[in-house]
Structure 1
Amino acid sequence: MKLAPHLHRLGNDIVACHLIDTDEGITLIDAGLPGHWRDLQRELHTLGKSVDDIRGVVLTHGDTDHLGFAERLRADHGVPVFVHAADADRARQGEKSEVSFKPMRLAPTIGFFSYAISKNGLRPHYVGKVNEVQDGDVLDLPGSPVIVGTPGHSRGSVSVRVPLAGALFVGDALTTRHVLTGRKGPQPAPFTDDPSGAMSSLDRIAELPASWVLPGHGAPWNDSPAKLVEAVRAW
């Protein structure tokens, strides 16, 4: 789905990843769930493009609902996958700290896991080889993605700024739809390793220029990062 010039979304408010389309090729931000491969193919067809136009996948962190089809692109099509060094093991091997399912409501939680099952999310495909990035890196990919360290959800969580699209991709640094409660609107994300650290990272997000803020779960935010952070802090 096209959101703005150069900016497209795959998936929905439960799980989403994003595509940056440029004359130089395509950059993907996150890779959703394995079953989002079909969504990717449909979007590429709409654009008159193919997998051969994808130059790289940038992961906001190494959780399985963001790895999706990244390994398929890497292994079958030679597309490089980028992740922060602190989340490299998580992306390659599934390293994950203890997860809390509080707060939660039964129906939304069942809905989240049902959707994940429908997209083959219970059979994660870890990434065999990753390219490690650091805070402040500007990647040589279409749109020149800028890496902004926003640890908390995981040690290596990053936000990715793409000035060409006026977009800031925040992964699970925050959410606009809580997958376990169904509550809509800006709020802290669930399954966060270090909630205090995640709240501190909001300061970095608030200072960045963008007209779109794209979380991995929930509706896109078509306003400034500062206003979104203000809403999360007021939650």
Structure 2
Amino acid sequence: MELAPQLRRIGNDIIAAHLILGDEGMTLVDTGLPGHYRDLMRELNDLGRPVSDIKGIVLTHGDSDHIGFAQRLRSELGIPVYIGAEDAARAKGAKPPATPKDPRRIGPVVRFFAYAIAKGGFRTRPLQEVTPVQDGDVLPLPGSPRIVAMPGHSPGSVAVHVPAVRAVFVGDELTTRHVLTGVEGPQPAPFTDDQAGSSASLDRLADLDVDWVIPGHGAPWHGSTSSLIAAYRSAEGRSAD
């Protein structure tokens, strides 16, 4: 799905990954679940580009619904995988801590888990090797993605700022469609390790000049970071009442 001339979406509002296009190659941000590999192949076929044009994968964090087919591309094609240093162990299979129970509604929960199962959620392969990144790193990949540390959802969560496509990818630091309740709009994401830390991290987006703020779950936000943060704070306030 085309979001902008150099930006493609793989997946849907339940779980998504994103492809940044450049003349010198492509960068993949997150890799969803194993079954999204076929969706990627269909997108590349439509673009008329080989999978070898992908020069690197940048993971917003190490949860299983974001590392999906990363190990496949790494092992078969030697494509490097970058991740926040504090999430390297999680991407390699370390078990995340238990998180507080999130609100849920039966319909959205069933749809989320049915989709995850259909996309091979139980077949996710941990990464065998990753390249750790830190806040402020500019990666040698198409689009020159810059890392913004966003601890909270997980210790090594990062946002990926790509000025070339005027977008920032925020992983699960927020969601615009809660997979467990179906509620739409910017709001805290479920399964978060440290919600207070996640909320504080959002302020690190405030000065970014972008047209798109793109979460891993929910519709992309087409607008400024300030408008998104304001909507998030409003939702956060309502949930605290």
TM-score, normalised to structure 2, is 0.96
Partner of 2:125: 125
Count residues in correspondence: 235
CA drift of 1:226 comes to 1.1
CA contact (8 A) 1:206 1:227 kept: no
Per the alignment, in what secondary structure is the counterpart of residue 138 of structure 1? Answer: coil
Partner of 2:180: 180
Q: Offset of 1:193 from its aligned partner?
A: 0.1
Q: Is 2:28 the counterpart of 1:20?
A: no
Counterpart residue identity of residue 88, structure 2: A
What is the CA-CA distance between 1:96 and the residue it aligns to?
0.3
Q: What is the deviation of 1:123? A: 2.1
Aligned partner of 1:61 in structure 2 is: 61
Gaps in structure 1 of 5+ consecutive residues: none
One-letter amino acid matched to 2:204: R
The alignment-based identity, stated in percent, is 59
User: Shift of residue 100 of structure 1?
Assistant: 3.5
CA contact (8 A) 1:33 1:120 kept: yes
Report the equivalent of 1:139. 139
SS in 1 for 2:44: helix
**Secondary structure of 2:204 counterpart:** helix
- Give the equivalent residue in structure 1 for 2:36: 36
The offset of 1:5, in angstroms, is: 1.7
Q: Tell me what 2:209 maps to.
A: 209
Report the alpha carbon displacement of residue 124 of structure 1 after superposing the two structures with TM: 1.7
Q: Which residue does the alignment assign to 1:3? A: 3
Counterparts of 2:216 and 2:225, CA distance in 1: 15
Amino acid at match of 1:177: R
Any gaps of 5 or more consecutive residues in structure 2? 236-241
- Displacement of 1:95 in angstroms is 2.7
Q: Is the 8 A contact 2:177 2:184 kept in 1?
A: yes
Partner secondary structure for residue 190 of structure 1: coil
- 8 Å Cα contact 1:101/1:180 also seen in 2: no
2:69·2:124 contact (CA, 8 Å) conserved in 1?
A: no
Offset, 1:223:
0.3
Check conservation: 1:166, 1:212, Cα contact below 8 A. yes
**1:95 corresponds to which letter in structure 2?**
K
Report the residue type matching 2:2 in the other structure: K
Query: In the aligned structure 2, how far is the partner of 1:14 from the partner of 1:201?
Result: 23
Alignment check: 8 A CA contact 1:82 1:133 kept? yes
1:133-172 equivalence runs, <5 A = 133-172=133-172
1:91 maps to 91
Q: Post-superposition shift, 1:185?
A: 0.8
How many Å separate the matches in 2 of 1:226 and 1:172? 18
Tell me whether 1:80 sits opposite 2:76 in the alignment. no
- Report the Cα distance in structure 2 between the residues aligned to 1:5 and 1:163, rounded to whole angstroms: 14
User: Shift in Å at residue 101 of structure 1?
Assistant: 3.7
Q: Deviations over 1:186-207 (max 9, x none)?
A: 1110000000000000100122
